[in-house]
Structure 1
Amino acid sequence: MGTKKPEFPEIAAVDLGSNSFRLQLARVSDGHLIFHDSLREAVRLGAGLDEKNNLDADAQRRAIDCLKRFGERLRGLPSQAVRAVATNTFRVARNAPELMREAQEALGFPIEIIAGREEARMIFVGVSHSLPPATHKRLVIDIGGGSTEFIIGQGLEPIEMESLYMGCVSYSMRYFPDGKLTEAAMDRARIAAAAEIQSIRKHFMAEGWDEAVGSSGTAKALGEIIRLSGLSEGEITREGLEYLRQQLLKAKEIKKIELPGLSADRAAVLPGGLAIMTAAFDALKIERMTAASSALREGVLYELLGRLHDQDVREVTVNSFMRRYHVDADQAERVRQMALILLGQSADQLKQIDEDGAAQYLTWAAKLHEIGISIAHGAYHKHSAYIVENADMPGFSKMEQETLGILVRAHRRSLSKLQGGLPVSPDRLLMILVLRLAVLFHRNRLPDNRPELQLSIVKTGYTLLIEPGWLVDNPLTEAELVNEMEYWKEIGLSLTLSS
């Protein structure tokens, strides 16, 4: 198994937002990013959500058509050089799994659904890289199509992060469904946004900041309109927001809005975005805000660059969890080493994930499988799984946390827990087996009691060849292996032992 990180002259990020889909490409030069090509389409995916949070056929078609075009531009790039993330609409849509399968086929690359706080973290990373270095705290507000992220950070590190369920698309549809711009409707939208922000106001005000920055389409559009109207040099101001409010009331209808620098697709969602920004200014007592040129997609690229240069945020997160939950690091390392040895013996049978990817999951699982002991020893594997599936884990997508949760939950006891949940592919089953065996053979937590093993995959399941005579001297492990064979039989697979 190779450890050298591949070098890619070009990497790409795809941001599947609730309003727009964006593709950003960059060249990698001496460890730095040079942005050189981008695509943006106003898909307005969030506008396709019905009352039951199902995406309608038109919205799905717009998404797939866009991703096919993005896929053509990305054609030829290796999978490790592309990262695609999906945000709020994919998080809330009930039929997102069906769309996801078709979306990944259209794009030609895997797509990750990221949690709101993870979205906020990567937004701050992207914004911070585009601004001059500073030691003071910054407040970043990113109004997206379906959610708005609030982050306070310093340097390149976020300190406080929140994601609220309100966006320029959802608010424009909810409060201006007929396209009419009335004072009552604008007040309702602003008050609703203020109520959402109230839940984070006290905490954010207590943390404090020295500079406010807006990112993504709404902030950039507001700043540009205010600049072209002669009210600032490009900053968003209270005076500018009130001026825009009056202009919208004069227009009376969304289709009649005429403002300098405003595109037709942005006009359709401007009222909702303006209401949210105005509420944020009022609730957080903001007087002036600069508009950043970078946002989520740039953050995704910097994260991808870090992964390619051994600066993976996920590794930092896992090590932090080990310290927080007082994991026995020596035991975790023993389990990791054996799991990777067994994986290497059967990795040629992997179909959907490569050996390095499987090894990464097993490393994380080995380090985190015992974190639940800090809650209770009984059924600790369930506590461990609950933590990794539900905790905020910087750098991890929701799907990565789900896969890690499956491994951790299934590392001991009955395997019947795998039935009725997420689909468990042959690759996942192999990872579960090697993790279970690694834990089983190190139950005594000794460093020098490991036998020589050889794992192979057969039609009906697995065969494990064990060093001759070793089981005679280790009757407890032999009994555990007999139980293990029964556990695999429960799910219709065989585990055969030989020596």
Structure 2
Amino acid sequence: MPAPVAVIDLGTNTFHLLIAIVEAGAIREVVHRVDAVKLGEGGINSGRIRDDAFGRGLTMLRNYALQIHENNASPVRAIATSAIRNAANGPEFIKKVAQETGICIEVIDGAQEAAFIYKGIRASGSLGPHRSLIMDIGGGSVEFILCTQSGILWKQSFEIGAARLMDRYHHSDPIAAREIARLEQYLEEQLQPLFAAVKTYPVKHLVGSAGSFETFVEMTGTSGASADNERIKTYHFNLQALAAVMDWLRNSTHRQREERQDIEPVRVDMIVVASLVTAFVMRKSGITRVSMSAYSLKEGVLADVIS
């Protein structure tokens, strides 16, 4: 049996550890962890990892190192994205992690991030011969990829992640109409390259990459097997059900979201701006079909490791 491979995705909001055995093209997960580290909390728009977040990240990676050792996983790929690549003390964090855990963190740029996300979603079977628009909403950045199963037509990463947008625009409870208007005006300005690409490559199908889209699946009341990425890797939304969820989120209070079991604590606040970004992109791009892929960046990195 092949040795397990380990992939760590160090996101702005969550860290992911995937230890898997790949045999005959099939992935068997040994460890799959998602941990709310909140590395960007309080410092996402100031360009610095705060001391408390720095400590949380280091503690979590010590735990990951133990699990990697216990499972004799090799090789190990640890990928850092927006929060670390844009933080003034990101290099300090990387050095400290290497010293204390032996984990060597690889910082990737937005283009590399989008390429890994595409590889992961292609491996899930969510794409076909028709054009699709992949959307990956992170805490620090959002990646968009226009593509087919055969390849990428256009891709770009934008520093408009949910943590950044929440910090800038979501200050009322529930979010105020004026804040939504300011947010959408900002998106209109920032996403001009996307809208130009959609004119060149018209698209009707949106594929959301894990994260917030998994929460949308849970909230439409169709969890269970649909969110089990070992059995079902792709879920297709009923648009009316998705629209109802987005309307509810737009008008919800923090307490109302907190009381729902189908919203993970780490997403209780960021899910609001994530839903607003999704609705805005759907409206501007003429999207008529929406899917969720349970695979994302970490599975793309895994595919890269074993290729």
Q: What is the TM-score when the length of structure 2 is the normalising length?
A: 0.87
Tell me: CA distance 1:107–1:179, structure 2 relative to 1, closer, same or farther (3 Å). farther
Distance 1:68 1:179 in 2: 37
Residues 194, 283 of structure 1: 8 Å contact kept? no
Deviation of 1:202 (Å): 1.3
Residues 226, 234 of structure 1: 8 Å contact kept? no
Distance 1:71 1:61 in 2: 15
**Can you list the C-alpha shifts for 1:318-360, whole angstroms capped at 9, x where unaligned?**
xxxxxxxxxxxxxxxxxxxxxxxxxxxxxxxxxxxxxxxxxxx
Distance 1:106 1:268 in 2: 33
**Can you list the C-alpha shifts for 1:105-129, whole angstroms capped at 9, x where unaligned?**
3442211000101100110100111
Distance 2:116 2:182 in 1: 31
The structure with the larger Rg is 1
Which amino acid in 2 is paired with 1:256?
Q
Tell me: CA distance 1:112–1:184, structure 2 relative to 1, closer, same or farther (3 Å). same
2:68 corresponds to: 74
Which amino acid in 2 is paired with 1:198?
Q
Distance 2:297 2:89 in 1: 24
Residues 4, 72 of structure 2: 8 Å contact kept? no
For residue 77 of structure 2, the aligned residue among 77, 83, 87 is 83
Residues 120, 303 of structure 2: 8 Å contact kept? yes
**Can you list the C-alpha shifts for 1:159-190, whole angstroms capped at 9, x where unaligned?**
21110111111112221246542222233223
Q: Aligned runs of 1:219-230 on 2, under 5 Å?
A: 219-228=213-222
> SS in structure 2 opposite 1:185?
helix
Q: Aligned runs of 1:104-253 on 2, under 5 Å?
A: 104-131=98-125, 134-155=128-149, 157-177=151-171, 179-209=173-203, 211-228=205-222, 235-236=236-237, 239-240=240-241, 242-251=243-252, 253=253
**Can you list the C-alpha shifts for 1:287-330, whole angstroms capped at 9, x where unaligned?**
22101110000000000001xxxxxxxxxxxxxxxxxxxxxxxx
1:497 corresponds to: none
Distance 1:104 1:200 in 2: 37
Which amino acid in 1 is paired with 2:290?
M
Distance 2:104 2:173 in 1: 37
Structure 1 unmatched runs, 5+:
1-6, 307-499
1:284 corresponds to: 285
Distance 1:182 1:190 in 2: 12
Alpha-carbon RMSD across the aligned residues, in angstroms, is: 2.6
Which amino acid in 2 is paired with 1:300?
V
> SS in structure 2 opposite 1:25?
strand
Report the structure, 1 or 2, having the larger helix content: 1
Tell me: CA distance 1:228–1:189, structure 2 relative to 1, closer, same or farther (3 Å). farther
Distance 2:243 2:291 in 1: 17
Which amino acid in 2 is paired with 1:203?
A
**Can you list the C-alpha shifts for 1:208-237, whole angstroms capped at 9, x where unaligned?**
3453211021122123212459xxx96456
Is 1:25 the counterpart of 2:23? The answer is no
Distance 2:239 2:124 in 1: 24
Which amino acid in 2 is paired with 1:158?
I
2:271 corresponds to: 270
Residues 50, 56 of structure 1: 8 Å contact kept? no
Distance 1:100 1:64 in 2: 9
Distance 2:236 2:221 in 1: 7
Greater shift, 271-280 or 292-301, is seen at: 271-280
Distance 1:162 1:32 in 2: 29
Distance 1:295 1:50 in 2: 22
Residues 167, 272 of structure 1: 8 Å contact kept? no
2:231 corresponds to: none
2:229 corresponds to: none
Deviation of 1:51 (Å): 5.2
2:48 corresponds to: 54
Is 1:102 the counterpart of 2:103? The answer is no
Q: Aligned runs of 1:451-466 on 2, under 5 Å?
A: none
> SS in structure 2 opposite 1:192?
helix
Residues 130, 294 of structure 1: 8 Å contact kept? yes
Residues 116, 297 of structure 2: 8 Å contact kept? yes
Residues 149, 161 of structure 1: 8 Å contact kept? yes
Structure 2 unmatched runs, 5+:
224-233
Which amino acid in 2 is paired with 1:55?
I
Deviation of 1:68 (Å): 1.1
Deviation of 1:80 (Å): 5.1
> SS in structure 2 opposite 1:54?
coil
Greater shift, 42-51 or 146-155, is seen at: 42-51
Deviation of 1:282 (Å): 1.6
Aligned residues: 297
Residues 193, 275 of structure 1: 8 Å contact kept? no
